[in-house]
Amino acid sequence: MSLQRTTQCGKIKINENVFAKWVQAAVSKTAGRVLCASEKGKILGGIDQKVSIGELSSNIIIKETKDSYNLKFFVIMSFGASIKKNCTIILDSIESQMKKMFPDKKGQIVIKIVGVKSKKIAERNMEIVREYEIR
């Protein structure tokens, strides 16, 4: 789903690829401890490969309400990695991008952890949610 934003210059359409780039950049800051995944728990792009933006954008859910934007995506954590530390890194990065792009609306970012990877992937179902307000 693409989002529309009206400015003085006219209407601007923002598609999922923009959000996918933000997610990819944020996840890459965790040094491989977090991997992008599908909703069903499959690692996107393979273990040691970079995820394509097209593949990632099809696994991101973006919703727009009257006064906020909601972004949800799926990840697999490495065994032993700190959930709090890594999710804070990801959420801080995406939140700063969202505030720059949409300063007039509040937002919600949801990271859904669908698995933990050690030798195999163990299924999990955890959601980390961050809500932020307008400055």
**In a domain? residue 118:** yes
Residue 1 lies in a domain: no
User: Rounded distance, CA 45 to CA 62, Å?
Assistant: 21
The model's pTM is 0.89
CA nearest neighbour of 18 among 51, 49, 81, 62: 62
Domain count within the chain: 1
| 55 sits in which H/E element | helix 53-57
Q: Which DSSP symbol is given to 52?
A: P
Domain presence at residue 4 = no
The partner residues of 130 in beta bridges, in order of sequence, read 109
Q: Which domain holds residue 103?
A: 16-132
pLDDT tens for the chain, 135 residues long, are 677 777 788 888 888 899 999 999 999 999 889 999 999 999 998 766 678 898 999 999 999 888 889 999 999 999 999 999 999 999 999 999 999 888 888 999 999 999 999 999 999 999 999 999 886
